[in-house]
Structure 1
Amino acid sequence: MQRQKLEKFKCELTTREYSLIGQSITANFPSGFPDAALKVQKEFVERRNEIINFKDKEVLISPYMCNGIIATYFACLEVSDLTDIPEGMIGFTLPFQTYAKINCTNQSIGEAYDRIFKWMNEKGYVQRFLENTCPIEIFYFEDHVEEEDVEMLIPIRT
């Protein structure tokens, strides 16, 4: 079944909870990125079949935490529960949270960050930092395409 393409640079609010299983990497920021993110994503994609209770194996969910010096970046699948976590992986739940969301592609992530923060500023939304949540990048795998859809979620104060 073909998934509908996302409308590029569309900004909106969404509220979600995520239960995730995956792997992480920590590296210097900004000098270690995007190389560290690509490394953990590649390693995780090779192991994602070990997760048995996934919701969609073709959707890679990547929350991250960054303090401007170092960043921890995750590569995960959304799961129905956290009962079976493969060796060397981590399972956790990001509780219900309101996010500012923007659609982009893997080729336009930098521009999307500029646009979402501008939109948030115009709407009076303030980012929520490290309070039981974190920003998320969601990658939609597609075969034989140059640009894959990405959603970026920035937690906001409500």
Structure 2
Amino acid sequence: MEAKVVNKEAFKAIGVKWVGTFEQAAKGEIKVFHKNFLNSKKQINNAVNPENILGLSYHITDNGFTYYLALEVEEGTTTPEGMEFISVPACTFATTEYKGATVHEAYTALYTWIKQNGYNLSQSDLEHLEEYPGSFDPVIDVPELKINIPIKGI
């Protein structure tokens, strides 16, 4: 696994929200949610890059989390009905690109890399930022994504 540290500027996004448990996600609800988003993303105007799907995980609890699938948008973009506006602050991330069937192992390896390199996890609400290619079909394709975990310096 190749990991690196990147700084991302603050950005705005519009997308859809899923709230559930880790068990529900493991049973495939996120895949169906992702597939549905691909069919509705054309409703989002002024996307900065419509082929970069963002997955934002927030409020991790003992058994669940809130997950958004979204597109980065230009300032002032109108939020379509049934979607939500998300404001993401500037952040430093540990990041790696991954393609394979065991995404959880990539996360584990990145968390290990963070610790081994003397970084700490950031204390923000954002737990993970995933980036998927627009052509990725979550139901039939092997997972392909960039994993970003917020960190702070030593």
TM-score for the superposition, normalised by structure 1: 0.83
Q: Describe the shift of the 1:18–1:37 C-alpha distance in structure 2 as closer, same or farther (beyond 3 A).
A: farther
| Equivalent position SS for 1:76 | strand
| RMSD (Å), alpha carbons | 2.1
Post-superposition offset of 1:101: 0.5
Post-superposition offset of 1:156: 0.8
Post-superposition offset of 1:83: 2.8
In structure 2, which of residues 4, 9, 22 is the aligned counterpart of residue 12 of structure 1?
Answer: 4
Match of 1:58 in 2: 51
Pairs aligned (count): 148
Matched, 1:48 2:41: yes
State the one-letter code of the partner of 2:24: G
Match of 1:5 in 2: none
Q: Describe the shift of the 1:82–1:133 C-alpha distance in structure 2 as closer, same or farther (beyond 3 A).
A: farther
Post-superposition offset of 1:80: 1.5
4+ runs of 1 displaced by more than 6 Å? none
| Equivalent position SS for 1:32 | helix
CA distance in 2, matches of 1:155, 1:139: 17
Matched, 1:116 2:113: no
Post-superposition offset of 1:141: 3.1
| Equivalent position SS for 2:108 | helix
Match of 2:24 in 1: 32
Post-superposition offset of 1:154: 0.4
How far does the alpha carbon of each residue in 1:85-136 deviate from its partner, in whole angstroms, 9 at most, with x for none?
A: 100100121110001101102534222112101110111111124x253311
CA distance in 1, matches of 2:11, 2:127: 11
| Equivalent position SS for 1:53 | coil
**Counterparts of residues 53-132 of structure 1 (less than 5 Å):** 53-65=46-58, 66-105=60-99, 107-129=101-123, 131-132=124-125
Q: Describe the shift of the 1:143–1:90 C-alpha distance in structure 2 as closer, same or farther (beyond 3 A).
A: closer
TM-score for the superposition, normalised by structure 2: 0.85
State the one-letter code of the partner of 2:64: I
Post-superposition offset of 1:36: 2.7
